Structure 1
Amino acid sequence: MLSGNLFVNGGTFNQSVGKTQSSISFDRLAAKASPRAFHLADSDPSHSTCHTNTRTRILERIRSWAVRKTEKEKYIMWLHGAAGGGKTAIARTIAKWCDEEEGILLGEFFFSRSDGVGDQISALAPTLAYRMAVHTLKDLKDAKLAISSAITRDPHIFAAPLSQQLKTLVLEPFDIVAPSGILPHVIVLDGLDEALSPEDQQLVLHVVSQTLYQHNTALRVLVCSRDEPAIVTAFNDPDSLLHAISARASLNDDADSDVDIRRFLEEKFSRIRKLLPHTPKEEWPTTANIDYLVSKSSGQFIFAATVEKYVGSPTHRHHAVKRLKHVLDLASLPTSKDKKKHPFADLDDLYSLILTTRDDVDMAVKAIAICLEYPKYFNIITPENLSTVLQVDIEETWAILFGLASLLDSSENNMRPFHASFGDFIFDRSRSLNLHRAVGPVVADILYAKLRLGRDPEELSYRSFCLLLKNASPTQDLRDILSQMTPNAIFKRPLVRRPPGAYFLISILRLLETYIPPNDYQDLKVYFDKNFARFIPTGGRWKLKIF
């Protein structure tokens, strides 16, 4: 006989002995939250916040708004600007200030391209609620209990629409525990344009503005994004509530950008100079060198930051002077007229320089493309994962990574490019030219590696298998390995702990028709009908859409 507290979650039985209902509810919340969306998830302090004494004017404006010294009737602040302008660094700086200095950070969510779109939408409200519950906010000390009680009252809240989740998990608990006259508390939403569809971008903005206004709560929401059409349209609609209750801060016309970038470069190069094995006799870098780099940055920190990482790489410190010369020589390199029209032409030239000075340029580009795509299906990518997909040993993998320190962060056991714009560069043929990589073949290599190993059935879930098949190009390697697999191997291998949904199953079957010879595919359909008919709605099997 089962004892203690028992609940069923997605087909899995969970028994918690000795736990209170409140504790069980909070455990469910923690499981739904996304730790990767926290502002401290990126542990590298060198690129987590604004450089000292930079962005001072815009930071002061946001801080004044946050504590209602200015723009008191504006619940939402939209910080917007081009890619590479430093929006995420500002968002992290504000989140850290609210959290550590003012004690008014209610929660934050940093959207990421490497996470699934649906996963991030479903995790948004739980993540904000979790952060509110665990923050040691002296004036919200009962928040954890209030949130847990809300989940206990409505166990299915995580399946509710976003508006209901925000109301039940965040706003109502905040209203319950917040004393009258409380200082505003801040929610930070960064990278709204990073992973969400245009429809979801507008949905989040609509829901946030409506729920904040209806509750008339002491909350402020900082939204950071690029000027994507759906987001611009939402904020510009003169008849919308969002337009009425939001303020704006643009990085595109920030008069201090050049001054800040100059300060950043001067301080970084001063440090690099001190670490050089042999100090140059003459001034290095010269004032003219700094002037050139500032002008090339065009107000965007990403160019200056990439130059600093490239020139100051610890693994190539003895080549720092030579590497800076390479960057300064970019102006004399031939570049197509069409490419020069692109707003990131100078950044593209810098990316190209870093990659083409390598002997193993093809393998380096392939490695980075894999690092960009792999986390979309398996959350993180380790050097061992990369080694498997590249089909090289771990020593060769480390040799490839050795020269990519200015582009790829491999400081933790999860490799990722320093900036999302590098993915835009690699996957856009008009920008990367001969360095271009198409997404389909990269995804095909990832799936092939997983199938080739065949030793970890639980890692390749039905969901991952389905999405990989959908996005992969039907390469010969992938066709061959799928054709050689028995129906049992294909459908048993990706089985996971919880029963898969009908959409994933039927989608896999349909997608495999592209890869498998007709006779083998008929055998696969027979096997499917025999083993999986119970998962498919009666009479509706062939009406289901591919996921």
Structure 2
Amino acid sequence: MLRLDGDRPVRLQTQGPGNVVRIEGDRPVQFQTSTFNNVAGNMNVSHTTNVGESGLDILYRAVSLDAMHDSAERPADPACHPGTRSAIFYQLEKWSFEQPSDSPILWLHGCAGIGKSAIAQQFAASCHERGQLGGSWFFKRGSVSRGTWKNLVPTLAYQLTVAFPQLGPRIQRAVETDRLVLGKAIHHQLEKLLVQPFRNAPPLASCPVLVIDGLDECEDRGTQTALIRALIDILRSGDSPLHFLVCSRSEPHLRELFEAPENSDVCRGLEIQRDDAAYSDIRRYLTEGFSRVQKIHTARGMLLDDGWPGENTIEHLVKKSSGTFIYASTVLRYVDDEYSHPAERLDAVLSLDPSSLTPLDDLYTQILSSIPNKPTLLRILLAIPETQYLDPEQMDIILRMRRGTSRAILRGLHAVVRVQPPRILGYQKPVQLLHTSFGDFLMDSQRSLSFCISGEDLLNTLVHDMARALLSGSLGSDNFQ
């Protein structure tokens, strides 16, 4: 006998290994699949899965919704500007239709800020529109749900069952055959969930494409290489028609793996070049972006000529971009401030050292320098990457500031930080850095100088403030939903 629901005794009856039924009178009720240990008359219950729970139910519980390209759980990464990156998209689409493919893994790589995530976002959306996207996963450094590989395979596998329903029963059966599969090594998960369901399966109308972005933001280098080695091993067998687009920075340890001669039968590289086409795309992006800013602010009563800011200015910014979209997009966001005159903002950008070899760092410094309360600014900036879940109102509580202070300061950082409107009905929207390069800048004392947030004193103060807020009850459980 086991007592549940207060003091009422309930009889448990096993039906096969781990299958337990709760008996209420003569009526059997499904209970849960569990491990039961009887020690000196005391029964310990270790939960695993529910009886009657399908393989798809088990998969769904392990899905990271915010990792998908079209998830409402996170603000979508910006797509490419219309008319740009056409040569890259042509190559991606051509590869995606190869059946079978000589290179089921395509490594799209390039330097920080060159637009890898934007390309991955748009390519995933394009594949989805033509019924070719099997699933997508966007890593994010430091994120609880997206910073590791733990939920990667179940998230991709579940998306496959939705995109290609004929695979659903096979993937479901793979999970039900081994209900512990999600706790096993990455190679085992990939084999069971992404390769085995295709064996002896009828051919699909198109090759499913799986998009994995930001590999270099996953945990540590060892985990990154282990994931790719596992992918190479399982795809080398040829049992799966899956195409994997893997996007990352051109890190040496990844380049060594993807470009190894022994892996050329599975992997192909596509580098995003800072060539004439890239500069032409940035020129078009800036020209159309400034035209939009000019129209918006002219309608607000500000005096801006039709040709503003002029071809010479655009050419100067194109050159300073060094072929990276992150510089151009940050300039446009900084200039397009509803509480400032865009011409004055642009003048501030143009006044930066024209001979500097680090124009993006100079731009970040200029943006941060425009915020008057530097000590408070640093405390807020540290709270963004360290907590991953705070909205401005929670920051006010933790940092012991007057309500609205965080929003007021973050308003001046809209070029580098995403701040959602105040919560509605208790739903929380955390503050997020717009680009990984800004977080890298803030953590590197040689780049950010006095705006560096990697100091031990700042971190200790934040930890103390969070502990105080939690212990005092200032942050209730509803703050972390």
Distance, in Å, in 1 between the alignment partners of 2:336 and 2:98 is: 41
**Quick one: structure 1 residues 460 and 446, their matched pair in 2 at CA, closer, same or farther if it must change by over 3 Å?**
farther
The yes-or-no answer on 1:255 pairing with 2:276 is: yes
Contact 2:392-2:404 at 8 Å conserved across structures = no
Q: CA deviation at 1:176?
A: 5.6
1:112 is the counterpart of 2:112 = no
Q: Which residue of 1 aligns with 2:353?
A: 331
Instruction: Give the structure 1 partner of residue 309 of structure 2.
Output: 285
Match for residue 232 of structure 1? 255
1:388-399 map, 5 Å: 388-399=397-408
Relative to its length, the structure with more helix (as a share) is: 1
Paired amino acid for 1:108: S
Deviation at 1:182, TM superposition (A): 3.5
* Structure 1 gap ranges (5+): 462-547
Distance apart, 1:393 and its partner CA: 2.6
Q: Does 1:401 align with 2:417?
A: no
Contact 2:147–2:219 (Cα < 8 Å) also in 1: no
Cα distance, 1:158 vs structure 2: 1.2
User: Once structures 1 and 2 are overlaid, which stretch shifts more, 403-412 or 295-304?
Assistant: 403-412
Question: Match for 1:270: what amino acid?
Answer: S
Shift of 1:11: 6.6
Structure 2 SS opposite 1:107: strand
What is the distance in 2 between the residues matched to 1:158 and 1:44? 24
1:311 corresponds to: 335
- 2:344 alignment counterpart: 322
- Pick closer, same or farther for the CA change 1:115–1:44 going to 2, 3 Å: closer
Q: 1:45-444 counterparts in 2 under 5 A?
A: 47-68=77-98, 72-100=101-129, 102-116=130-144, 120-135=148-163, 140-175=164-199, 177=201, 179-180=202-203, 182-238=205-261, 240-241=262-263, 243-276=264-297, 277=300, 278-281=302-305, 283-314=307-338, 316=339, 318-331=340-353, 340=356, 345-375=358-388, 380-411=389-420, 413-438=429-454, 440-444=456-460
Per-residue deviation, residues 241-278 of structure 1 (Å, max 9, x unmatched): 3x332222111344311011011111111111111122
Distance in 1, matches of 2:461 and 2:200, equals 52
Amino acid at match of 2:391: T
Residues in 1 aligned to 2:68 and 2:146: alpha-carbon distance in whole angstroms? 18
SS in 1 for 2:150: helix
Q: Is the 8 A contact 2:107 2:267 kept in 1?
A: yes
Task: Name whichever of 402-411 and 363-372 sits farther off.
Answer: 363-372
Give me the whole-angstrom Cα distance separating, in 2, the residues matched to 1:83 and 1:182.
36
Aligned 8 A contact 2:110 2:272 in 1: yes
Match of 1:472 in 2: none
More strand by share: 2
Partner of 1:542: none
- Deviations 1:368-417, CA, capped at 9 Å, x for gaps: 22101112xxxx22123322332213211221122111111012612111
| 8 Å contact from structure 1 (residues 21, 152) kept in 2 | no
The structural deviation recorded for 1:5 is 4.3
* CA distance in 2: counterparts of 1:426 and 1:68, whole angstroms: 42
Shift of 1:169: 1.5
Residue 452 (structure 1) aligned with residue 468 (structure 2):
yes
User: For the residues of structure 1 that align with 2:53 and 2:200, how far apart are their CA atoms?
Assistant: 20
Q: SS of 1:188's equivalent?
A: strand
Percent identity of paired positions between Structure 1 and Structure 2: 30
Cα gap change, 1:251 to 1:310, in 2 (>3 Å): same
Map of 1:41 onto structure 2: 71
Which stretch has the larger CA shift, 220-229 or 34-43?
34-43
SS in 1 for 2:308: coil
Q: Is 2:32 the counterpart of 1:6?
A: yes
The answer to whether the 8 A contact 2:445-2:452 is kept is: yes
Q: Is the 8 A contact 2:139 2:214 kept in 1?
A: yes
1:12 & 1:29 partners in 2: Cα distance?
20
Distance 2:455 2:157 in 1: 35
Question: Is the 8 Å Cα contact of residues 383 and 462 (structure 2) preserved in structure 1?
Answer: yes
Q: CA deviation at 1:30?
A: 1.4
Question: What is the identity, as a one-letter code, of the residue corresponding to 2:450?
Answer: N
| Preserved CA contact (<8 Å) 1:117 1:196 | no
Q: Which amino acid aligns with 2:162?
A: V
Asked if structure 1 preserves the Cα contact closer than 8 Å seen for 2:398 and 2:469, the reply is: no
Aligned counterparts of 1:229 and 1:117: Cα–Cα separation in 2: 26
Q: Which letter does structure 1 place at the counterpart of 2:412?
A: G
Query: 1:468 — aligned with what?
Result: none
8 Å CA contact 1:374, 1:446 repeated in 2: no
Q: What is the Cα deviation at residue 447 of structure 1?
A: 2.5
Aligned to 1:478: none
Residues 92-147 of structure 1 deviation map (CA, whole Å, 9 limit, x = unaligned) = 111111112x1111111111113249962211111111111233xxxx32323322
Conserved 8 A contact 2:391-2:430: yes
Q: How far apart, in 1, do the equivalents of 2:448 and 2:216 lie?
A: 22
- State TM-score, norm by structure 1: 0.74
Question: C-alpha separation between the residues in 1 aligned to 2:200 and 2:390?
Answer: 42
SS of alignment partner, residue 189 of structure 1: strand
Contact 1:133 1:147 in 2 (8 A): yes
